Chain A
Amino acid sequence: MKRLFAVALGILTAIGGFVDIGDLVTNAVVGSRFGLGLAWVTVLGVVGICLYANMSGRVAAVSGRATFEIIRERLGARAGMANLAASFLINLMTMTAEIGGVALVFQLVTGIDPLLWVPLAAFGVWIVVWRAKFSALENATGLLGLSLIVFAVAVFLLQPDWGHLGMQLIPRIPESESGSTYWYYAIALFGAAMTPYEVFFFSSGGIEEGWTVKDLGQTRANVLVGFPLGGILSIAIAACATLVLLPQAIDVTSLSQVVLPVVQAGGTIAFGFVVVGIAAATFGAALETTLSSGYTLAQYFGWSWGKFRRPARAARFHLIMLIGLVIAVLVLLTGVDPIAVTEFSVVFSAIALPLTYIPILIVANDRQYMGRHVNGKLVNALGLVFLVVIVAASVAAIPLMIITGAGQ
C-alpha cells in the first residue's frame, strides 16, 4: 500500500512538474497562431524526454552519478567546461523566466506591477531551497500544479466542434504564417518539452533521494506515465488557445491571454484553479532550475552538493544558487518582458540539447558504470533517432531565429 502510494505520488508530481512557464507560454502562443498544427511536436518532445529522463534516472540509480558528473568524466575538463558554461547560462535564463512567471501570476491576481513581485518571488524560492526538505518541495508544487488540469476541463467546457478540432491535429502551415515561423515554433515547443534542466533535476533528485537499482521500476513509472500526462496538459493549453484566441486573432503577450480561454469557459472558479496551477508550476520550476544551477556547477567542480546536506556542509552549492537568484532578479528588474525571456529560453534550451543528451546516451551504454543495466537495442535505436532530431533542432535554431526575427 505504501509502495502504491509512493508510485501514485511520483506520477502525480511528474504530471504537475512537467508543465512550466516555457510550456505554458509556448503552447499558448503556438495555439493562438498555428492551432493544433504543431501538437505533433509536443508528442515528439514528450517521447524524447521520457526516453532520456528515464536513461539519466537509470544512470543515477545504478552508478550513483548525476548528469554533470558524467559530462565532466566523459568530455574531459575542457570540453566539459564549455558544456558547463552553455548549460549554466541557459539554465539561468530558464530560471529567470520561471521567476518572472511567478511574478506574472501575482500580477494577474493583484494587478500590481510584476517588477514589484520579482524580488519577493526570488526570496520565496531562496527560502524554500534553503529550508524545505527535498521531497516536501517536490510533492507540494507537483500536487498543486495538478490544478492545471483545468486547461483540459476548459477544452470540454468550451464545447468545441470535435471533428473540426481533430482535423487541426494534422500538421500544416496556416496561410497567415510562413514555413520558417512554423519550424521556429516547432523548435521552441521541442525545447520547451525537452528542457535540459528537467534531466539535471531528475538525475540529481534521484541521488538526493538515494535511488538504487531497486527503485528503477518506480522511476520508470513516474516518467513513462507522468510525463505523457503532463504532455496532454500541454496540448490542452494549446487547444484552449486554438479555440478562443486563434479565431479572434488575439496575440499572447502576457499571462492574461494564456488564462483567458479558461476563464471564458469556467468563470471565477476556473480562474482560481488556473492561478493556483500556474503559480505552483512556475514556482516549482523556479525551485528546480535554481537547484539545477547549483547541481551543474557543483557536480562539474566536484564540490559537495545536495539538499540532503546542511547548507554549511555544501556551502558553495548553496552560494551558487543564491548568486543565480540575484542575477535572475537583476535581469528582471531591468524591465525585460518575462514572456519574451521565456520565448528565448525555450529556443536556447533547444540549442543546448545535444550537450546534455549525448553524454547521457554514451554513459548509459558503458558497462563500467552500468553493469548489466546498459541500454537495450530498442532504447539505443530510439536514442539515436532522437539524437538526430536533437542535433537538427539545435543546428537550425539560430538561423531560424534570425530569419524569422525570433518568430515575428
Chain B
Amino acid sequence: MLLTELLRMRVVEVDGTEVGRVVDARFRIDAQGGARLVGLIVSPHTRAPFLGYERAALDEPLVLDRFLRWLHRGSFLVDWPDVRRLDDDGLHLREGYERRPSTLP
C-alpha cells in the first residue's frame, strides 16, 4: 500500500458516520533510524494540508496561524491499530477508538 492511497481517504466510524478525511500521517523515528507509522491525522472540515501549522511552535504570522487552525478545527490523531479495515468506502475505525490530539509540540 502507498501512503498516497490513504491521504484524502474518507474516515468512517463503525456505524458509518463520516468523521473526516485523512490529511496526514504521523511517524516516529526509531533507534535504528527507521520510520514507524504511529497513526493518521483526520480533519473533519478540509482536505487541505496543514502547511506546517500542526506544530504548536509555528504560530506566526498570526493571521495564517489562526486561519489554518480554524480550517483544521476538530482534527485528531488516530493510532494505526485503531484502524479496523480499508475498502472502497474509506477507512473504517474500530469501536471505541481514541481521538488523540493532533498538535505536535
What residues make up the interface of A, taking CB atoms closer than 8 Å to B? 74-79, 359, 361-363, 365-368, 374-375, 380-381, 383-384
For this complex, 17 residue pairs linking A to B, each with C-beta atoms less than 8 Å apart, are: A74-B49, A76-B49, A78-B4, A78-B7, A359-B51, A362-B51, A362-B58, A362-B64, A365-B60, A365-B61, A366-B58, A367-B57, A368-B55, A375-B61, A380-B60, A384-B61, A384-B63
With a cutoff of 8 Å between Cβ atoms, the chain A residues found around residue B101 in the complex are none
Which of B4, B49, B58 meets A365, CB within 8 Å?
Answer: B58
With a cutoff of 8 Å between Cβ atoms, the chain B residues found around residue A368 in the complex are 55, 57-58
With a cutoff of 8 Å between Cβ atoms, the chain B residues found around residue A380 in the complex are 60-61
What residues make up the interface of B, taking CB atoms closer than 8 Å to A? 4, 7, 49, 51-52, 55, 57-58, 60-61, 63-64
Q: When A79-B49, A366-B52 are in contact, do A361 and B61 touch as well, CB less than 8 Å? A: yes
Name 9 extra pairs, CB < 8 A, besides A74-B52, A359-B51, A383-B61: A74-B49, A75-B49, A75-B51, A78-B7, A368-B55, A368-B57, A380-B60, A380-B61, A384-B63
Among B7, B51, B63, max chain A CB count under 10 A is at: B51
Mostly, the A contact residues are: helix
Return the chain B residue nearest A369 by Cβ: B52
Return the chain A residue nearest B55 by Cβ: A368
Bound together, the chains give a CA A365 to CA B64 distance in angstroms of: 11
Contact present for A77 and B57 (CB under 8 Å): no
Closest chain-A Cβ to B32's Cβ sits at a distance in Å of 23
Return the chain A residue nearest B65 by Cβ: A365
With a cutoff of 8 Å between Cβ atoms, the chain B residues found around residue A375 in the complex are 60-61
Which of A76, A79, A361 meets B64, CB within 8 Å?
Answer: A361
With a cutoff of 8 Å between Cβ atoms, the chain A residues found around residue B63 in the complex are 384
With a cutoff of 8 Å between Cβ atoms, the chain B residues found around residue A75 in the complex are 49, 51
Return the chain B residue nearest A374 by Cβ: B60
Bound together, the chains give a CA A45 to CA B7 distance in angstroms of: 38
